[in-house]
């Protein structure tokens, strides 16, 4: 029973709502334009959840093997760090999750494009492979990009552009450049979550040789960078709504910005990285709430 709880902990369930946000936004925009398919929606959610769990397992394994997860770490204890799950077990979990996620991705691509649009289907297939590789390579291997300050870029691409724009395209099969505005906004929100996590772990990461962007630019610059990410997300969402305005309910998501304003205020006052851990949950849930309220406003 203890091992089961440890596996659940390694899956880091609190990160899952954030990963679903982009799919909800992309789907909401498609629905507003008259397109929806329950099979595509279900498979998109399942694939995204698979990628997030895969990323969490790989992160646990990569940091555990490299010794980054040690007594200096501020956040909750990881699975490998606890010793309850061994390296081989976690590696097996990564492989199984990757295979299941790939199968889900293939089913999603088939549901969206069938056998008619082979080129587009292949493009999305390789995009799926890229997402799986990116989920694993964040901390795993000698060339792990998370140890070179590139995590923010990949989070922006896959949690923002791919999640929102990609899911939108699965329904409509047409390019709509305006959708890049909310896609970029949620990329910034997601990068903000990663940045906050790295701010919390800056001291222990620096000692372990994990050169995140926060470690490279320092704590003060990381705060300014965080303000940029969240405020830019605000601006991009509002700009999209103005360009596609149909009613006041389109701005319903602005309600979710209120706790984020207080979040930025608390970040400005913060002097102790340990106290940033609760802010992670608040930022992730506020991002998810923004997605849900945006969807309601679009579909209403």
pLDDT in tens, 125-134: 999 999 999 9
State yes or no: pLDDT of 74 exceeds 90.
no
**Residue 264: predicted pLDDT:** 94
State yes or no: pLDDT of 275 exceeds 90.
no
The rounded distance, in Å, linking the Cα atoms of 105 and 43 is: 8
pTM, to two decimals:
0.92
**Residue 204: predicted pLDDT:** 83
Question: pLDDT over 70 for what percent of the chain?
Answer: 94
**Residue 4: predicted pLDDT:** 80
Average pLDDT over residues 181-208: 92
**Residue 111: predicted pLDDT:** 96
**Residue 72 binned pLDDT confidence (cut-offs 50, 70, 90):** low
**Residue 57 binned pLDDT confidence (cut-offs 50, 70, 90):** confident
**Residue 246 binned pLDDT confidence (cut-offs 50, 70, 90):** confident
**Residue 76: predicted pLDDT:** 63
Average pLDDT over residues 53-63: 86
**Residue 5: predicted pLDDT:** 83
Any idea where the domains of the chain sit in the sequence?
2-299
Chain centroid to Cα 35, Å, comes to 25
The rounded distance, in Å, linking the Cα atoms of 154 and 167 is: 17
Average pLDDT over residues 189-210: 90
**Residue 78 binned pLDDT confidence (cut-offs 50, 70, 90):** low
Average pLDDT over residues 256-282: 89
**Residue 73 binned pLDDT confidence (cut-offs 50, 70, 90):** low
Question: pLDDT over 90 for what percent of the chain?
Answer: 65
**Residue 223: predicted pLDDT:** 94
Cα separations (Å) of 149 from 139, 160, 204, 222?
A: 11, 18, 15, 12
b vs e for 190-207, b when ≥16 Cβ sit within 10 Å of the residue's Cβ?
A: bbbbbbbbbbbbbebbbe
């Amino acid at each position: 029973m203890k091992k089961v709880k440890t596996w659940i902990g390694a899956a880091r369930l609190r990160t899952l709502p954030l990963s679903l946000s982009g799919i909800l936004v992309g789907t909401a925009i498609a629905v507003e334009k008259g397109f929806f398919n329950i099979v595509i929606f279900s498979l998109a959610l399942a694939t995204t959840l698979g990628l997030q769990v895969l990323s969490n397992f790989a992160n646990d394994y990569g940091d555990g093997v490299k010794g980054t997860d040690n007594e200096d770490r501020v956040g909750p204890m990881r699975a490998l760090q606890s010793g309850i799950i061994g390296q081989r077990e976690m590696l097996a979990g990564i492989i199984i999750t990757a295979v299941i996620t790939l199968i889900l991705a293939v089913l999603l691509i088939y549901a969206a494009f069938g056998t008619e649009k082979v080129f587009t289907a292949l493009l999305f297939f390789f995009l799926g492979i890229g997402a799986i590789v990116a989920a694993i390579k964040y901390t795993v291997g000698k060339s792990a990009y998370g140890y070179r300050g590139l995590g923010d870029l990949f989070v922006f691409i896959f949690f923002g552009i791919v999640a929102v724009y990609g899911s939108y395209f699965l329904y409509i099969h047409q390019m709509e450049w305006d959708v890049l505005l909310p896609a970029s906004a949620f990329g910034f929100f997601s990068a903000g979550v990663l940045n906050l996590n790295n701010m919390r772990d800056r001291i222990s990461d620096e000692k372990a040789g994990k050169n995140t962007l926060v470690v490279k630019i320092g704590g003060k610059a990381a705060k300014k960078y965080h303000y940029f990410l969240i405020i830019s997300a605000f601006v991009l969402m509002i700009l999209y709504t103005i360009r596609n305005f149909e009613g006041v309910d389109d701005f319903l998501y602005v309600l979710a910005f209120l706790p984020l304003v207080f979040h930025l205020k608390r970040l400005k006052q913060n002097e102790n990285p340990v106290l940033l851990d609760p802010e992670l949950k608040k930022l992730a849930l506020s991002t998810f709430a923004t997605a849900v309220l945006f969807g309601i406003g679009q579909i209403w």
